Structure 1
């Protein structure tokens, strides 16, 4: 008896939709933590305020709406960003496994994630630059909003000015996606086989959350460098900047903003995978064979 054929990958529009809905859901739930994280990363003092203190100070001094300052840039970015994250991961996975003819391994899953992150970085860099400029307390007053940030940057530095910080953004996404998708592959293999829809949801949430945690541990130093280079345009390369920050401010400076970042991206990674898998299941049932 021949083995049943594997379901075909979903058409791009369905992958795009699932990724977009997942990204917007995660963003709306956890964005305030991203604002706190950015403030901590941009603080160059040797005794920076803790996460709770920064959170309280923002609300007290600037008002609670500040916790959603700069959200329009990432909101506009979420649909293409998350679609590319999961779509590129699928594309690279098909390439490395020769459309499933070669078995996926831990190493290939990690490499696939890294390449998906590299692909994603080309899309997100301009949006990240806009977000950082609006989140920074010292520079936010210089701009009327996201469109004004773009206008001023292009006027001052040309279109390529929107890609300031491209190199550290590349490494940030390379390492986060490698840790995220590589961990998901490993953790799913260790989890007991799901019984029913609830079991599948719990497995996806657990695997995505652990993947988000691992990715965040790996990529936070690159995120610190990215935030600073996008704001200050020092012209440094990522790895020399990592060494300089550690030397001048201590190794712990490379993990400034880690608490709010991991509190967002660990459960956020779980939310992403949960929503994507749930919507993909709905789409497969709607389309029928050969997608189920």
Structure 2
């Protein structure tokens, strides 16, 4: 994420974790709204349904209180450390692997996309259980069943089985493959197109622009898989019954057939408002932390 001398992995991990938590704390309410809209089928009629992002915000605050916009935040915060460790380790490992396989000395846009997609698929294995817990806590209809994060884990394991903690793995992999490919591919291309920053202020601006564009493109590409993932993970498994939403691509077909193509982009506005600017925040904080570590190490 920076053109300067790379630091040891532990510093990349710490910087990524700080950047990820910063983004969550600022943008999490948009994630709650996105999930509520995505798991809703049909039109938003009545107090328990939502007719878009603003209506969802208004009804949550009015009927449940502002604190509900942060319900389930513990899971993604705890997820950040292993998620970032996996992301950066996988991104580095896959990058080296592909450069060796293709005999390419430097990263290019095609390799950036391929490496990002591979890192996203790897990252999904770490993310799924945390995402499952978060989705169950964010859903108003299911929130009363659970008394916090630990209770969600306990009840899912006892009622649905240990393997249920990895419910939605396939759709999560598709979601992360598509987002990371779009995000890292765009960052590489945008940075190559915009003028090189002459000072620190210019570097921050460039990071905000490239990160925001990358986050927006990634969101446009992966939103249908995110809708499907939310519905798959929000469906409690019942022994002997095949769930309505099970595998990613058939579930896409079900949503499109029953609700139309537009339903695949439910929750897009809060999602893009989070991951567009959020991608910029992520890049700026990460770069800033890496610069800070270089300063204290005496590398600058």
* TM tier, smaller: over 0.9
> Do residues 74 (structure 1) and 76 (structure 2) align?
yes
Determine the C-alpha separation between the residues in 1 that align with 2:282 and 2:88. Answer: 10
- Correspondence 1:286 to 2:296: yes
Q: Report if aligned partners of 2:171, 2:225 keep a CA contact under 8 Å in 1.
A: yes
Is the 1:15–1:87 Cα contact (8 Å) retained in structure 2? no
Query: Could you say which residue in structure 2 is the equivalent of 1:113?
Result: 116
Aligned Cα root-mean-square deviation (Å): 1.8
Query: Could you list the per-position Cα deviations for residues 45-71 of structure 1 after superposition, in whole angstroms to 9, with x for gaps in the alignment?
Result: 145511000100000000110000011
State how many pairs are aligned.
285
1:91 Cα offset (Å): 2.5
Asked whether the equivalents of residues 22 and 272 of structure 1 are also in contact (C-alpha less than 8 Å), the reply is yes
Which runs of 5 or more residues in structure 1 are unaligned?
1-5
1-structure distance, mates of 2:204, 2:274: 19
Q: 1:91 to 1:286 in 2, by over 3 A?
A: farther
Residue 23 of structure 1 is aligned with which of 15, 20, 25? 20
* 1:8 Cα deviation from its structure 2 partner: 5.1
**Alpha-carbon contact 1:179-1:214 (below 8 Å) kept:** yes
Following superposition, the deviation at residue 287 of structure 1 comes to: 2.9
The one of 21, 24, 32 aligned to 1:35? 32
Contact 2:43–2:51 (CA under 8 A) maintained in structure 1: no
1:288 Cα deviation from its structure 2 partner:
4.2
- Aligned partner of 1:138 in structure 2 is 141
**In the TM superposition, what are the counterparts of 1:1-292 in structure 2 within 5 Å?**
9-47=6-44, 49-98=51-100, 102-232=105-235, 233=237, 234=243, 236-288=246-298
User: Which whole-Å CA distance do the structure 2 matches of 1:204 and 1:286 have between them?
Assistant: 22
Partner of 2:240: none
How many Å separate the matches in 2 of 1:193 and 1:178? 23
| Distance in structure 1 (CA, Å) of the matches to 2:289 and 2:89 | 14
C-alpha separation between the residues in 2 aligned to 1:63 and 1:74? 21
Q: Deviations over 1:10-56 (max 9, x none)?
A: 22211110011001100000100000000000110145511000100
How far 1:268 moved relative to its partner? 0.5
Q: 1:126 to 1:42 in 2, by over 3 A?
A: same
Q: Deviations over 1:158-194 (max 9, x none)?
A: 3221001111011111100110001000000001011
Aligned partners of 2:148, 2:156: CA distance in 1, in Å? 13
Long gaps (5+) in structure 2: 45-49, 238-242
- TM-superposed CA distance for 1:95, in Å, is 2.1
